[in-house]
């Protein structure tokens, strides 16, 4: 009798475990979470939200996640450990856990989404074996560089956003090869809006769709050969902006408000499928780094204090041309071939005072957009990123 009873019990608990592992679970206590420790695979949805007694979530037996785990607004949570989790088609989102300081998923290789947003105490994010993530977001965390194990196996991502991490000074993902969606890196390494920013090195990256880069101190994209949508590099402290292997940009290329920039070099670039926008770069006096550029499908739009502009191979500018320089040394006749190849309205002028890059506001829309961008503080960066696209049709 006894053996039968105990195997019944076993069956029963197995049945419960199976259910729990596929359920929609909204945990209201630590016991609800403890009930999931039996799951080696979880296909349900687990929400852990607002449990103030909770200090740690640890599910060491969990190996596979096809469902979702959402952990939000647990004011005393310090640790998330999913040490057994390997491959997963599911999602993990961690929002508003103000004391969360350690996220450890050391055996994770693939996952659909991993989003860590507003975790100002986060010090350690260990993803030592991660290879691919569909959507990866690390925003508004306390991460600095000591707390990131090298993600050297990380190769593929669809969308990746790393922004508003005030202590993060260097982002280096050497194996990352393909970004099929968006790359956003902005407002890292800026304490209270001050500071220099962060360096970004993606030495193996060959292609990205949409790329928005801000507040950088160094940028290395030595292997990048195609940007299928837009590339913008704004408000950085870079002296040189270069992508030595880049051949095509599918939409807009924009380089705006980089205070120290003196050299732009895209030596292999042959076509831009949208606008080329270069504006408000204080130190930029010469733009001659587009030796092979043939075609600009949008507008060629330039504002600045440059004296020397050359596009030796440009033979088609489909969207018109608006080039205004504040310098008296600028000679528009150097662009006469470009101008002749431009469809629609063309403007080229030297000694235009309002084109001079400045920190004071002028009344044009460029300045207004730039100011709104500057005012974009914590949390607003993602929204602010859309603003620049408005500049593309500017002034024609
Ligand atoms: C995080 O907190 C902010 C502000 O308190 C709130 O607007 C947002 O909805 C919260 N997000 C989640 C996922 O709980
Ligand atoms: C970069 O790519 C090359 C060629 O695909 C590969 O051999 C190398 O291991 C990659 N580097 C890293 C750090 O993954
Ligand atoms: C600009 O940078 C490119 C690439 O590093 C370099 O080849 C070129 O000489 C630089 N131009 C100037 C004027 O410094
Ligand atoms: C413009 O560039 C050419 C060659 O790059 C150089 O010889 C010339 O001095 C430059 N002119 C000005 C005004 O900077
Ligand atoms: C130019 O850039 C500076 C800083 O990068 C910014 O303060 C200023 O508002 C910008 N000006 C315009 C006219 O966009
Ligand atoms: C790329 O980003 C810009 C700016 O956020 C946006 O307007 C555009 O729709 C994006 N393009 C794609 C293909 O996602």
- Quick one: average pLDDT of 248-276? 97
What's this model's pTM, rounded to 2 decimal places?
0.87
Average pLDDT, the chain: 87
388 in the same domain as 261? yes
Q: Is residue 6 part of a domain?
A: no
Distance 8 CA to ligand 5 centre (A): 73
pLDDT at res. 149: 64
125 in the same domain as 193? no
Q: Is residue 54 part of a domain?
A: yes
Q: Is residue 1 part of a domain?
A: no
Q: Is residue 13 part of a domain?
A: no
Res. 380: pLDDT tops 80: no
Q: Is residue 348 part of a domain?
A: yes
197 in the same domain as 335? yes
Q: Is the CB of 263 under 6 A from ligand 3?
A: yes
Distance CA 216, CA 236 (A): 5
**At CB < 8 A and 24+ separation, what contacts does 107-110 make?**
107/83, 108/82, 109/153
Distance 308 CA to ligand 4 centre (A): 6
Alpha helical stretches, state H, the chain: 2-20, 30-34, 336-341, 365-375, 381-384
Distance CA 303, CA 84 (A): 54
What is the strand order of the sheet 198-201 is part of? 170-172, 198-201, 216-220
How confident is residue 9, by pLDDT bands cut at 50, 70 and 90? very low
- Quickly list DSSP for 301-332: EEEES-SEE--TT--EETT-EEEEE--SS--G
pLDDT at res. 152: 83
Range of the domain at 205: 171-396
Q: Could you tell me if 101 and 125 are in contact, meaning their C-beta atoms sit under 8 angstroms apart?
A: no
Looking at the chain, the whole-number percentage of residues with pLDDT higher than 90 is 79
104 in the same domain as 61? yes
How confident is residue 193, by pLDDT bands cut at 50, 70 and 90? low
Which positions ≥6 away from 87 have C-beta within 8 Å?
64, 108, 109, 110, 111
262 in the same domain as 185? yes
Distance CA 354, CA 305 (A): 10
Residue 33's domain is classified under what CATH number? 3.80.20
- Could you say which DSSP state residue 112 is in? E
Q: Is residue 227 part of a domain?
A: yes
Q: Locate the ligand 1 atom nearest the alpha carbon of residue 118 and give its number.
A: 1
Q: Is residue 352 part of a domain?
A: yes
106 in the same domain as 36? yes
CA–CA distance from 126 to each of 77, 94, 152, 320 (Å)?
Answer: 17, 15, 12, 49
Q: Is residue 117 part of a domain?
A: yes
pLDDT in tens, 333-354: 999 999 999 999 999 999 998 9
Dihedral angle of Cα 247, 251, 256, 258, to the nearest 10 degrees: -30
Please count the structural domains in the chain: 2
Distance CA 187, CA 181 (A): 20
pLDDT at res. 48: 97
244 in the same domain as 149? no
The encoded tokens of residue 98 equal 């103000």
Distance 118 CA to ligand 1 centre (A): 9
- Quick one: average pLDDT of 220-241? 97
Choosing from 263, 284, 286 the residue with most ligand 4 atoms within 8 A of its CB, the one to mutate for a pocket test is 286
List all residues whose CB is within 6 A of at least one atom of ligand 4: 286, 288, 307-308, 329
347 in the same domain as 219? yes
Which of 121, 154, 187 is where one domain is finished?
154
pLDDT in tens, 31-53: 999 999 999 999 999 999 999 99
Distance 251 CA to ligand 2 centre (A): 28
Choosing from 239, 241, 246, 265 the residue with most ligand 3 atoms within 8 A of its CB, the one to mutate for a pocket test is 265
């Amino acid at each position: 009798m006894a053996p039968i009873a105990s195997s019944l019990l076993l069956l029963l608990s197995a049945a419960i475990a199976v259910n729990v592992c596929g359920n929609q679970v909204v945990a209201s206590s630590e016991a609800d979470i403890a009930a999931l420790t039996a799951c080696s695979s979880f296909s349900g949805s687990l929400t852990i939200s607002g449990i103030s007694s909770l200090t740690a979530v640890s599910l060491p037996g969990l190996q596979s996640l096809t469902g979702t785990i959402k952990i939000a607004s647990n004011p005393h949570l310090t640790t998330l450990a999913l040490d057994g989790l390997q491959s997963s088609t599911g999602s993990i989102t961690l929002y508003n856990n103000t004391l969360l300081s350690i996220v450890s998923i050391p055996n994770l290789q693939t996952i659909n989404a991993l989003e860590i947003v507003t975790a100002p105490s986060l010090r350690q994010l260990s993803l030592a074996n991660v290879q691919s993530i569909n959507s990866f977001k690390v925003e508004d965390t306390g991460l600095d560089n000591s707390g990131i194990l090298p993600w050297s196996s990380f190769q593929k991502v669809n969308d990746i956003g790393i922004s508003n991490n005030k202590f993060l000074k260097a982002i280096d993902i050497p194996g990352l090869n393909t970004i099929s969606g968006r790359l956003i890196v902005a407002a890292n390494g800026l304490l209270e809006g001050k500071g220099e920013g962060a360096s970004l090195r993606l030495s193996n990256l060959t292609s990205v769709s949409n790329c928005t880069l801000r507040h950088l101190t160094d940028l290395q994209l030595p292997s990048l050969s195609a940007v299928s949508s837009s590339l913008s590099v704004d408000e950085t402290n870079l002296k040189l902006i270069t992508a030595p292997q880049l051949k095509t940009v599918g939409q807009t290329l924009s380089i705006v408000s980089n205070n120290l920039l003196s050299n732009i070099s895209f030596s292999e670039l042959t076509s831009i499928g949208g606008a080329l926008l270069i504006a408000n770069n204080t130190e930029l006096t010469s733009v001659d780094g587009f030796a092979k550029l043939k075609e600009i499908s949008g507008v060629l739009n330039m504002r600045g204090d440059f004296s020397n502009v050359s596009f030796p191979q440009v033979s088609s500018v489909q969207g018109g041309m608006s080039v205004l320089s504040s310098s008296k040394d600028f000679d528009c006749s150097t662009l006469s071939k470009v101008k002749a190849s431009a469809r629609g309205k063309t403007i080229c002028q030297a000694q235009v005072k309002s084109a001079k890059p400045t920190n004071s506001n002028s009344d044009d829309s460029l300045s207004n957009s730039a100011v709104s961008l500057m005012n974009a503080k914590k949390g607003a960066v993602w929204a602010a990123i859309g603003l620049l696209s408005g500049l593309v049709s500017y002034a024609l």
